[in-house]
């Protein structure tokens, strides 16, 4: 598929999505949301895609937030609908059964930080900056930021960032556990590809089960331990479980088929 606001490519099972509005620091407008929604469907439905990377175009920004020009004159109901739309798309990313990681190549502010946090994990370039500056606009994050920031870095640090609008650098994000790796800017995509290349050799249904069970921790409608038990049982009757255990016993590399 082609998208008006995204560049996409597929290499060795890794689908790279580049949000492509560099002159507006890749701010998330309606069109980007529509495209992201479709792109996550593409990741979910295309058997050739094993995992994905989301990054931003240009050297400066991953995503500098929701597009503030679209905020003008919104009613309360329209603002709530906007937040719900953003949250729904970010839930779709979070619940995608294939790994989606953020390669954060600069500013990840507001909706950009929220997008990165909806991904399964994050890798940052050394010039990346993270923050939720909404209080500067008389707002709070609307795309899940108050929830995921608290989940990822703990309540005290999250509330300080939320209410101060402070930006943290990549080293601090690493120390807080917001990102898994910090690498020089020129190595960011190669690092993301290297990490996903290893993951892509693992059993797809088991990967999906890990994502589902980890997400269940933060879903009060679900019991995470029960989710784990159920998924464990389901994995036991897959061809890939037989392949994985046989390959171990036969001292060879497993060849998983996702069934």
Q: Note if 70 is an active site residue.
A: no
Could you tell me the smallest distance in angstroms from the CB atom of residue 151 to ligand COA?
A: 20
Exposure on the CB side of residue 46, measured as CA atoms within 13 A:
17
Could you tell me the smallest distance in angstroms from the CB atom of residue 139 to ligand COA?
A: 6
Binding flag, residue 69, ligand COA (CB under 6 A): yes
Q: Note if 94 is an active site residue.
A: no
Q: How far apart are CA 38 and CA 50, in angstroms?
A: 17
Binding flag, residue 64, ligand COA (CB under 6 A): yes
Q: Which one of 6, 17, 19, 25 is in contact with ligand COA (CB under 6 A)?
A: 25
Tell me the helices (H) and strands (E) count for the chain, helix number first: 10, 10
Interaction mask 95-114, ligand COA, x per CB under 6 A: ------------x-xxx---
Residue 151 tokens, joined: 């989940």
Closer to ligand COA by Cβ: residue 133 or 204:
133
Binding flag, residue 189, ligand COA (CB under 6 A): no
| Contacting residues for 95 by C-beta, under 8 A, at least 6 apart | 211, 212, 215
Q: How many degrees, rounded to 5, is the angle at CA 224 between CA 218 and CA 225?
A: 155
Binding flag, residue 83, ligand COA (CB under 6 A): no
Q: Give bridge partners of residue 55 from the DSSP assignment.
A: 18
Closer to ligand COA by Cβ: residue 46 or 70:
70
- Tell me which long-range contacts 232-238 makes (C-beta under 8 A, separation of at least 24): 234/205, 234/209, 235/203, 235/205, 235/206, 235/209, 238/203, 238/205, 238/206
Q: Please work out the total of residues on this chain that contact ligand COA, with binding judged by CB under 6 A.
A: 16
- Chain position carrying tokens 């929701």: 66
Q: Which one of 10, 13, 24, 197 is in contact with ligand COA (CB under 6 A)?
A: 24
Closer to ligand COA by Cβ: residue 68 or 235:
68
Residue 83 tokens, joined: 């937040």
Q: Which one of 10, 34, 58, 68 is in contact with ligand COA (CB under 6 A)?
A: 68
Catalytic residue positions, numbered: 114, 134
């Amino acid at each position: 598929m082609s998208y008006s606001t995204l560049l996409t490519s597929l290499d060795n099972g890794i689908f790279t999505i580049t949000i492509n509005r560099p002159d507006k620091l890749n701010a998330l407008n309606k069109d980007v949301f529509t495209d992201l929604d479709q792109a996550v469907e593409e990741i979910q439905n295309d058997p050739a895609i094993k995992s994905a990377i989301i990054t931003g175009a240009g050297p400066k920004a991953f995503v500098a937030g929701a597009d503030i020009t679209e905020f003008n004159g919104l009613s309360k109901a329209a603002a709530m609908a906007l937040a719900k739309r953003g949250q729904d798309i970010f839930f779709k990313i979070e619940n995608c059964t294939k790994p989606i990681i953020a390669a954060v190549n600069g500013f990840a502010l507001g909706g950009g930080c929220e997008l990165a946090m909806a991904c399964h994990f994050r890798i940052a370039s050394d010039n990346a900056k993270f923050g939720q500056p909404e209080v500067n606009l008389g707002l709070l994050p609307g795309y899940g930021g108050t929830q995921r920031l608290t989940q990822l870095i703990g309540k005290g640090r999250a509330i300080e960032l939320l209410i101060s609008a402070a930006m943290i650098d990549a080293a601090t994000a690493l120390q807080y556990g917001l990102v898994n790796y910090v690498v020089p800017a020129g190595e960011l995509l190669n690092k993301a590809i290297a990490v996903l290349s290893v993951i892509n050799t693992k059993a797809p249904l088991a990967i999906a089960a890990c994502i589902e069970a980890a997400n269940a921790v933060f879903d009060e409608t679900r019991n995470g331990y029960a989710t784990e038990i159920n998924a464990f049982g389901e994995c036991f009757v897959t061809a890939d479980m037989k392949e994985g255990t046989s390959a171990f016993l036969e001292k060879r590399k497993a060849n998983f088929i996702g069934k």
